[in-house]
Structure 1
Amino acid sequence: GLGAGAVAASAGGLGAGGGSGGGRVQVRSVVDGEVLFEARGTTPANVAPGGDDRLVVVCPVGKAPRVLQTAGRRLVRGSWERARGVCGVDSAVVSGADGRFAVVADGEVRVWDARTGDRVAELHDPGVRYATFGRDGGFLATAGSADEIRVWRLSSPDAPVLRHPLNNQHLRGGLAWDPGPPVLRYLEGGTAHTLDLTNTVTAAWRDRPVDGVLLSPDGRLFATATRTAPGTPTGPGTGTGTGPGFRFELRDTRDGRLIRTLPSSLAPPQSSDPVPQMAFSPDGGRFVYGVTGPGVRGAPQWFTVWDVARDREQSVLDLGRSRSGTAVTALALSPDGRTLFTTRTSADGEPSDEQWDTETRTRTDTPTGRGLAGAPLALSPRGEPVVGDNRVARGRTGRSVALDLVQGDHISALAFSPDGSRVAAGDRTGRVALWDGDLRRRAGVLRNVFPAPLGRTPEAVSALAFSPDGHTLAVGGDAGTVQLWDTTTQQPLGGPLPSPGERIASLAFTPDNTALLVGGGHVPLHRHTVAPARTVAQVCARAGDEDLTRGEWDTYVPDEPYRRVCD
């Protein structure tokens, strides 16, 4: 990476540095010193040889970047020529693999591809000073002087995939990627720090995301929904049509193995933007799924209840047969699969909720008064209550009452503990509240769940999950942050876990409480080891199964007495 300095070298054997005259920069071969390129009116930080040494990127102060071939100095045309004024005295140019380069200036990082001439990404990164491309040019690491290190996936640049706080450490010499494994290093004082980015720079990323992903509460299965081509045959009760459909699949979380491709569902007729809807019962034994069409009233909305244990269809019902006929926005299913709770927006714009008997396929209750207010929706493992957006319904009447779950903002995620004794509610400002299982008493509010936002909009809570013993709460955000919390002390457990950097759609712990499972559109299943014994084993393996010396222990673990942990 290149922040500011007098000399920079490329991997292929070219060096850029200040010449003898003011404002002059030369590119020389480090083999024989031959001058291959010279530029005036700029600084060494604003000149960078390309990754393959065939190109040189120059950023003249007050102008747009220029890309030239080192042989013949022929100008390479591209969209960067329209970025007038982006180059400044304090800006810097960074080159990467496959013709990619970036200009760092004024809290922005602009990335272009010299091969295609197109702009790849534009990153909003306040305080950025250093930047460096990953080995294949698909990732970019950035840092300020004493803020945090951020890693960005350039194909999805809206938010960083990793935010590593520096905690008052001051970088000296920028950042560097390891040429082999996905490891990032930085120098601070006399210490070289290493960040393992295996879980961040994951090969499991798919450019075309699934349309929906949901982990079962018991952590044994995960479901995905993927749009299919028009006219695809569908399952019982749904017929075959010409509109788009969705393929629903159940997979094993241990190895991703396909368990069942479920009978698919067609979108409601005339729906231009169909949405798949899915829900597991609180114990994970039943699964309900279907497709709704926002803006389309009175059309069929076929939903299937699947018995997971017996691997068979339990019921198929049309949720379009309701008074409003509007799209279903959230679902909750009882453990036996007999009762289905739904929310939707009524004809007058107010949310309403319904209760269905899946055996008779009829609506059994339409509560009066304001409904549970749309997504999300959660049902206690005990069978009641049902919780929605600052509403709770208790008893068989289904009538909901208002309840300020967090601090007045809209609720974006809900979760019950496995035994139903606790409830967690997250809102769009990133706060999480803990309640008792009957929602009679609020136990506390977890503030500052996520790091400070890069922009003005805070990261919203998008997923929640309790560990099997209820002592740990996992919180996921819509910018990709995952944080563990101790529910007793209401304190965070370590820092944010590395993730692929997309909206966290679903969370669950494995039944043995050794791993946290994370689901997203681009990476449907991601795993983090959370059992202390297994974490220690992984750290020891990384260290060659050798214990720290007493001197090393005093340096890295000064507040604990020395002991051997890798035996």
Structure 2
Amino acid sequence: MSDGYLQDHLIEHLMDAGRTAEAEAVASDLRWVQTRLHQRGPTAPWRDLDGIASPTARALAADIARAAHLLSPTNPPHALDAILSSRLTALSHWDDQPHPMVHHHLTNRWPPPDLPNRSLLRALTGSTAAVQALAFSPDGTLLATAGDDQCVRLWNPATGACQRTLVGHEGRIRAVAFSPDGTLLATADDDRRTRVWDPATGVCLSIVHGRIPRAVAFSPDGMVLADVAGDGCIWGRDPATGTVLRRLTGPIGGVKAVAFSPDGSLLATAGEDGWARIWNAATGTLRHSLTDHISGSGAVAFSPDGRMLATGGEDRRVRLWNTATGAALQTLSGHEGYVNATMFSPDGTLLATAGYDRSVRLWDPVTGTALRTLSGHEGYVNTLAFSPDGTLLAIAGHDRAVRLRNPATGTISDEGTGVRELAVAAGSQLVTADDDGRVRIRDAMTGTISHVLTDYARGVRTVAFSPDGTSLATVGEDGQMWVWDPSTAIPAPAFGTESIRGIRSAAYNSDGTVLATADAHRTLHLRDPATGAVWRTFTTGNRASHTLAFSPDGRLLAAVGHDDAVWLWNIETGNVQHTLTHDSAQSLQAVAFRADGEMLATADERGAVFLWNPTTGTLRGVLTGHEGPVGALAFGGPWLATAGDDATLRIWDPDAGTVLTLMRTDSPLRCCNWSLDGRVLYAGGRRGLFAYDYHRNTGNSP
């Protein structure tokens, strides 16, 4: 049926006929999931499984929900099947299912390191900038999110669908709050306006002009809307008219957060001076001044019974207070950055806190015990909220995604070790420079670690293998370069300590007879890899070249720095053969030669990939499609792989200017490289090392 009726209703008809086992068998077949995904999007196969009342079907529905934010349409369309398989076939039940594909595609060589733990239920994507605030409606059917893109989005947390987008703000939105009956939504922005909306229709009911608001909160009876201005003034307003009902007086300082107690009798504020204050909400008089934060306090929350107040601040600690007496009850330590958000679960058994360390921590507020840590966020966590029934914890921040988690489940952490750079050599060797400052030598086929090099306290900037795999050069953030025997992990003695300081990047030529290094003083050195002796020096116009690449014949050396040009040096003459520039290229990130030497590719911070003829210095074409900086590129035979901050790995036919296939990950990518035979593509990012087998087109399609 061309209108899709059969696909839309087959599962429910099987259920109505009492054929539940058959319905589950169809809905859990990966081929059916692929069909429904292309037909209606990820919500369709999720609904098929979620409507079947069996633990297995519900678990499989949860698998799809966790991956749904990665399953939007792709260009080319067939790449979506590979992304679906990548996220599901690493999981039980899905792993033994056939998933035939005839187009160019990637499959997991090992499970992706960014697969979420079971606490993640769904991720909501659509925000184009950092999310600063979120709130559930009182009945839990809506989730409002807002932030730096000046839009308010209303989501259905059950399906992940964006129900409505509210526009009109002309500045960053700092705060959102629902009225207790759910009929009003207040939002506050940097354009000195607090807006009150009807969330059911999206109509803006009123606008209050004033000083820049920092936070908003409704009183439990819905009669007062408190908003906090940037100068520390706290106003109690009539939410319908904006009329000022009262203004708090006293030493309030620069207030960043505000909250009413559950019975509405108290109002708590958190200030930039490190003090939290508890006020009489009816009279505006100060009840308690609480201090123990060394610097600013940026988060405040009452427990459901109103007896406890949680505050978080720039000193990385969370403190619990007795609201009746103002006495300190607990100090919770564990965060490694500013604490931006605190919130109690509706039943009071959990306290969730979040901040600059990209993690959410769950505590027992009575004992102060740390229960678990939820990680996997790609930036600062700015805000969080429990659903009214306590089954969901919504978390959002600088990485623009809103994650819905089950606060009752999950492992201690799902955070892997990030990969900054990687290199591949003969003999099935793979080396990675990791975020923990270590260099790991691995088996390229399995990822198994054979050696760990730990000599860089400040981290590693560059790794480079000689083509035969007998020599490994590593450059640290401290500017020191070491050359190692990768089979023993012992440094080569050839390089003196003075000669290896101040290095920023390194590269071997194609036969391993030359090692090029770039320093912080715009100087390139060509060295004998066996002795470290410098036999030629170039002075480049690049601001401290961070990436070097030799042409396949070893006659050209390309140098890229944080500017808009590629310098091509003729190794034999020592002269600059070409300086490659383009008006639209900004801050080049990477450079690579194709194996035939007839193409040079560069990438910039805006996501464009420039293709050059290195012989003539002319531009051959520009590849676009990435939505953010492209940090790495690599040729594998005729194909070009690119990896970017948009968490996509793309394989191009550079001559045709088309994408052959792509892979999405759940974390930004920093580096990529091919195996020497071009059959495996590796990529690294903040969540770890990815490896994909590349399958070329087996059908008639291009």
1:94-114 per-residue CA deviation (whole Å, 9 max, x = no partner) reads 9699533799xxxxx998867
**Shift in Å, 1:77:** 2.3
1:298-341 per-residue CA deviation (whole Å, 9 max, x = no partner) reads xxx552153x6x7787954336545xx86011111123432111
Does the CA-based 8 Å contact 2:429-2:442 persist in structure 1?
yes
**Shift in Å, 1:526:** 1.5
Does the CA-based 8 Å contact 1:280-1:286 persist in structure 2?
yes
Q: How has the CA–CA distance of structure 1 residues 58 and 396 changed in structure 2, closer, same or farther, with 3 Å as cutoff?
A: farther
Q: How has the CA–CA distance of structure 1 residues 465 and 124 changed in structure 2, closer, same or farther, with 3 Å as cutoff?
A: farther
Q: How has the CA–CA distance of structure 1 residues 428 and 339 changed in structure 2, closer, same or farther, with 3 Å as cutoff?
A: same
Q: Flag structure 2 segments of 5+ consecutive residues without an equivalent.
A: 1-121, 123-133, 143-177, 185-218, 225-259, 270-298, 320-342, 561-565
Q: Counterpart in 2 of 1:410?
A: 587
**Shift in Å, 1:511:** 5.2
Does the CA-based 8 Å contact 1:428-1:460 persist in structure 2?
yes
Among candidates 248, 273, 278, match of residue 463 of structure 2: 278
**Shift in Å, 1:491:** 3.1
Q: Secondary structure at the match of 1:525?
A: strand
Q: Does 1:526 align with 2:699?
A: no
Does the CA-based 8 Å contact 1:111-1:122 persist in structure 2?
no
Map 1:387-406 → 2, pairs under 5 A:
387-389=558-560, 390-406=566-582
Q: Does 1:444 align with 2:621?
A: yes
Q: How has the CA–CA distance of structure 1 residues 255 and 403 changed in structure 2, closer, same or farther, with 3 Å as cutoff?
A: same
Q: How has the CA–CA distance of structure 1 residues 384 and 203 changed in structure 2, closer, same or farther, with 3 Å as cutoff?
A: farther
Does the CA-based 8 Å contact 1:286-1:335 persist in structure 2?
no
Q: Counterpart in 2 of 1:287?
A: 472
Distance in structure 1 (CA, Å) of the matches to 2:446 and 2:618: 40
Distance in structure 2 (CA, Å) of the matches to 1:410 and 1:21: 48
Among candidates 377, 389, 408, match of residue 548 of structure 2: 377
Among candidates 203, 210, 221, match of residue 40 of structure 1: 221
Q: How has the CA–CA distance of structure 1 residues 405 and 531 changed in structure 2, closer, same or farther, with 3 Å as cutoff?
A: farther
1:112-154 per-residue CA deviation (whole Å, 9 max, x = no partner) reads 86757999985579xx9999999996x84xxxxxxxxxxx6xx
Q: Does 1:224 align with 2:224?
A: no
Distance in structure 2 (CA, Å) of the matches to 1:505 and 1:67: 38
Does the CA-based 8 Å contact 1:327-1:344 persist in structure 2?
yes
Q: Secondary structure at the match of 2:617?
A: coil
Q: How has the CA–CA distance of structure 1 residues 334 and 313 changed in structure 2, closer, same or farther, with 3 Å as cutoff?
A: farther
Q: Counterpart in 1 of 2:673?
A: 508
Map 1:66-77 → 2, pairs under 5 A:
67-70=301-304, 72-77=305-310
Does the CA-based 8 Å contact 1:285-1:335 persist in structure 2?
no
Q: Counterpart in 1 of 2:629?
A: 460
Map 1:335-346 → 2, pairs under 5 A:
335-346=510-521
1:372-416 per-residue CA deviation (whole Å, 9 max, x = no partner) reads 951111112321311012201123233335512454533211122
Does the CA-based 8 Å contact 2:137-2:182 persist in structure 1?
no
Q: Does 1:473 align with 2:641?
A: yes
Map 1:478-497 → 2, pairs under 5 A:
480-493=647-660, 497=664
Q: Secondary structure at the match of 1:404?
A: strand
Q: How has the CA–CA distance of structure 1 residues 131 and 279 changed in structure 2, closer, same or farther, with 3 Å as cutoff?
A: farther
Does the CA-based 8 Å contact 2:435-2:459 persist in structure 1?
no
Q: How has the CA–CA distance of structure 1 residues 357 and 133 changed in structure 2, closer, same or farther, with 3 Å as cutoff?
A: farther
Does the CA-based 8 Å contact 1:219-1:517 persist in structure 2?
no
Q: Counterpart in 1 of 2:523?
A: 352
Distance in structure 2 (CA, Å) of the matches to 1:253 and 1:337: 20
Q: How has the CA–CA distance of structure 1 residues 181 and 380 changed in structure 2, closer, same or farther, with 3 Å as cutoff?
A: farther
Q: TM-score, normalised by structure 1?
A: 0.53
Among candidates 424, 427, 433, match of residue 610 of structure 2: 433
Q: Counterpart in 1 of 2:54?
A: none
Distance in structure 1 (CA, Å) of the matches to 2:389 and 2:592: 39
Counterpart residue identity of residue 474, structure 2: Y
Distance in structure 2 (CA, Å) of the matches to 1:510 and 1:100: 44
Q: How has the CA–CA distance of structure 1 residues 4 and 261 changed in structure 2, closer, same or farther, with 3 Å as cutoff?
A: closer
Among candidates 120, 126, 139, match of residue 7 of structure 1: 139
Q: Counterpart in 2 of 1:364?
A: 535
Structure 1 range deviating more: 390-399 or 507-516: 507-516
Q: Flag structure 1 segments of 5+ consecutive residues without an equivalent.
A: 11-16, 24-37, 44-55, 83-92, 104-108, 141-151, 164-174, 183-200, 229-245, 268-272, 295-300, 452-458, 537-559, 561-567
Does the CA-based 8 Å contact 2:418-2:435 persist in structure 1?
no
Structure 1 range deviating more: 481-490 or 386-395: 481-490
Q: Secondary structure at the match of 2:504?
A: strand
Distance in structure 1 (CA, Å) of the matches to 2:581 and 2:263: 53
Distance in structure 2 (CA, Å) of the matches to 1:370 and 1:124: 41
Distance in structure 2 (CA, Å) of the matches to 1:226 and 1:528: 19
Does the CA-based 8 Å contact 2:508-2:514 persist in structure 1?
yes
Does the CA-based 8 Å contact 1:371-1:400 persist in structure 2?
no
Q: Which has the higher helix share?
A: 2
Does the CA-based 8 Å contact 1:94-1:102 persist in structure 2?
no
Among candidates 96, 100, 105, match of residue 352 of structure 2: 100
1:35-92 per-residue CA deviation (whole Å, 9 max, x = no partner) reads xxx931279xxxxxxxxxxxx997989986874444x44233223999xxxxxxxxxx
1:256-315 per-residue CA deviation (whole Å, 9 max, x = no partner) reads 2123446x6578xxxxx5755421245766422254635xxxxxx552153x6x778795
Q: How has the CA–CA distance of structure 1 residues 3 and 491 changed in structure 2, closer, same or farther, with 3 Å as cutoff?
A: farther
